[in-house]
Amino acid sequence: MKDHQFYIRQCINLGKEAKSNGESPVGAILVKDGEIMASALEAGKAKKDITCHAEVEVIRNLREKLDIVDMSGYTMYTTHEPCILCSYAIRHHRISSVVWSISTGEIGGASSEYPILEANNIAIWGKAPELVKGFLKSNVRKSCLSSYFACCLLNGICLLQLNYLLNEITKHRTTKSQIK
């Protein structure tokens, strides 16, 4: 039988693919009854859409494939703790369990000040998913290394993501100053 490590390794491979595409190295899959039903990689830069995190993309892929909203009975595996945005989507779709390697601190859906993944006080979402944390942390950290970026966690923010945000801010300031 396949275990958490098997599925996290699949996510690591997806994360490596995302990194080779110039994205943050995040991959996610949805599993039901031992079968991978959908997979996705980070795509925010390529699609020019900040909501295209791997976790949201895998939900979109499964919805497109099976035309379902309620994902009870599914387990999401991902290289990184889902952020607050992704956690909302996970709860909305009632995913039963979430397994990840690296926690993301202040932006995490469980480890931040806004633990959406653990909230049991929002009746419409029902029961919080089971959370399994820390599988293959060192493997995921190694897959984050790049000759161009030192992708490590700094206060819960991947330096690759931080660099992307700084570039976007610089572009915005440049565009704004050109308009004046």
Active-site residues: which are they?
55
| Secondary structure (3-state) at 128 | coil
Question: Cβ neighbours of residue 9 under 8 Å, at least 6 residues apart?
Answer: 136, 139
- The two three-digit tokens of residue 180, written as one number: 């004046």
As a three-state string, the secondary structure of 133-178 is ECCCHHHHHHHCECCCCECCEECCEEHHHHHHHHHHHHHHHHHHHH
- The two three-digit tokens of residue 81, written as one number: 């703790």
